[in-house]
Amino acid sequence: MKRILFVSEAVTLAQVVRLERLASSLDPSRTEIHFAAAQFDETIFKESTFKRWKIHSVSIETMKQATLKGKPIYDRRILSRYVDEDRALLSSIRPDIVIGDLRWSLAISAPLEKIPYATLVNAYWRRAHHGGDFPLPDHPIVKWIGPKLAGYFFPMARPLVFSLHARPINQLRRYYGMRPIGTLEDVVTAGDYRLYPDVPGLIPLGRQDRNEHFLGPIHWSPRLSLPGWWSGLSAEKSLIYVTLGSSGRADRLPVVCEGLRNSQSVIAVSTAGEPVVNLGPNIFAEKFLPGHLLAKRADLVVCHGGSTTAYQALAEGVPVLGIPTNLDQYLSIRAIERAGAGLCLRADTLTAKEVAMAAVKLLNDSSFHLAAERVQAEFSSYRSDERFLDFLKGVIAC
């Protein structure tokens, strides 16, 4: 029986649920499954049977604040603690392979323990896709000088900024006698193998390396019942599903709703755990909603643009209005925008008028729906559970 360890960082919900879905797809009678994370929300792990291990992770709030200030999430002290925890875990379990999601320290601990390491990461981080052309993320400087001027200086400042983000892990690798990895995008994608929860039509790489594997999107939605007001919705009215997620700008939700308020659509809002307030007439809000069911009924999904929710919409052939905050979300919605299946608005300069105009365009221009349906068709041809098992069979004869 092969032994597999999944290690998730917990700075966003996406990291935990993506790995949990892959772990749950394996046959427990053929594989011994271990899962390490900072917390185990029973909404996610209620039906899981694998062995759980508690590890340290920086908080979601720490990640949010670092992102908004343009500062590195990790310093050398934190990563050193991570490496020590990783090594103790790897030494205790001795897995045949470790699968990590945003756990940068595994690029040090796994080689030191001589264990193959596969990183689950979106393909839009690969230089083969973006070619060094990065969108401008939210940053305090945008408020000071505006997005146009900030966008002009960003390409010049980016190499230094990315090197600063990568410096702690490169310093730690040198300490352990290992070569530096490189800059930020190299750190994010570091591993013996790269597993992409994407499809090549949406995130084209050109030449694909032998250690790169497209799994297809990994979908997850909380196991919730639909709220009472759902049955009373008119089938004739269009529906806009809004959620800015656990890593989006919750303070932008009122602006989004103001922009959508005068549309002829019903607005269903998930606050992702934030307190529910009265957002206006024809707007129904809950702390959590079963996203897959909302996306199936929706004519438009408004989210932070990150792959978890945006791919949920595209899997139903529904276009996306992305309002990103961090660079990962910007990269995701830019790929969707380039595919013609969505639009992007900046969260740090967002206005209700922009939201209203974008929503009208996405709802009424059929080209967005046709593009979303093309992505949907490719999504349907990729089964992440089957492709993940094929990968494991190829590397550890699982």
Question: Rounded CA gap, 307 and 122, in Å?
Answer: 8
pLDDT bracket for residue 243 (50, 70, 90): very high
How many independent structural domains does the chain possess?
2
On whether both 7 and 139 belong to a single domain, the answer is yes
On whether both 42 and 164 belong to a single domain, the answer is yes
Question: Rounded CA gap, 198 and 311, in Å?
Answer: 9
pLDDT bracket for residue 222 (50, 70, 90): confident
| Domain contains 76 | yes
Tokens representing residue 330 in the block: 């910007």
On whether both 137 and 198 belong to a single domain, the answer is yes
On whether both 356 and 390 belong to a single domain, the answer is no
> What Rg do the C-alpha atoms of the chain give, in angstroms?
21
Residue 296 burial by CB count (10 A; 0-12/13-18/19+): exposed, middle or buried?
Answer: middle
3-class SS at 234?
coil
Q: What is the mean pLDDT of the chain?
A: 91
Residue 284 carries which DSSP code?
E
| Domain contains 337 | yes
Question: Rounded CA gap, 292 and 270, in Å?
Answer: 12
* Bridge partners, 35 (sequence order): 6, 52
Tokens representing residue 350 in the block: 């967002």
Question: Rounded CA gap, 119 and 131, in Å?
Answer: 21
Q: CA nearest 119: which of 202, 9, 17?
A: 9
Q: CA nearest 269: which of 280, 282, 281, 285?
A: 285
Which amino acid makes up residue 264? Answer: Q
pLDDT at 133: 85
Question: Mean pLDDT over residues 333-356, rounded?
Answer: 96
pLDDT digits over 141-172, tens only?
777 778 788 777 777 888 888 899 999 999 99
On whether both 285 and 257 belong to a single domain, the answer is yes
pLDDT at 322: 97
Question: Rounded CA gap, 4 and 35, in Å?
Answer: 9
| Minimum mean pLDDT range among 109-118, 119-128, 223-232 | 223-232
State phi, psi for 342 to the nearest 5 degrees. -175, 180
On whether both 16 and 94 belong to a single domain, the answer is yes
Question: Rounded CA gap, 51 and 46, in Å?
Answer: 13
Question: Rounded CA gap, 216 and 197, in Å?
Answer: 5
| Domain contains 284 | yes
Domain around 53: 2-216+382-396
pLDDT digits over 277-307, tens only?
777 778 898 888 999 999 999 999 999 999 9
On whether both 34 and 166 belong to a single domain, the answer is yes
On whether both 307 and 344 belong to a single domain, the answer is yes
The CATH number assigned to the domain holding 147 equals 3.40.50.2000
Question: Rounded CA gap, 24 and 6, in Å?
Answer: 11
- Per cent of the chain over pLDDT 90 is 67
| Domain contains 44 | yes
| Domain contains 72 | yes
* Bridge partners, 119 (sequence order): 100, 194
pLDDT at 35: 97
| Domain contains 222 | no
| Domain contains 353 | yes
Count CB-CB contacts under 10 A for residue 201: 15
On whether both 128 and 195 belong to a single domain, the answer is yes
pLDDT digits over 49-108, tens only?
899 999 999 887 888 778 777 788 899 999 999 999 999 999 999 999 999 999 999 999
Q: CA nearest 219: which of 314, 286, 301?
A: 314
On whether both 144 and 268 belong to a single domain, the answer is no
| Domain contains 223 | no
Tokens representing residue 197 in the block: 């929860």
Q: In the predicted model, is pLDDT for residue 224 greater than 90?
A: no
pLDDT bracket for residue 48 (50, 70, 90): confident
Q: Which residues of 98-135 are buried (b: 16+ CB within 10 A; e: fewer)?
A: bbbbbbbbbbbbbeebebbbbbbbbbbbbeebbeeebb
On whether both 41 and 149 belong to a single domain, the answer is yes
Question: Mean pLDDT over residues 217-227, rounded?
Answer: 88
Q: How far from each other are the two terminal CA atoms of the chain, in whole angstroms?
A: 8
On whether both 197 and 244 belong to a single domain, the answer is no
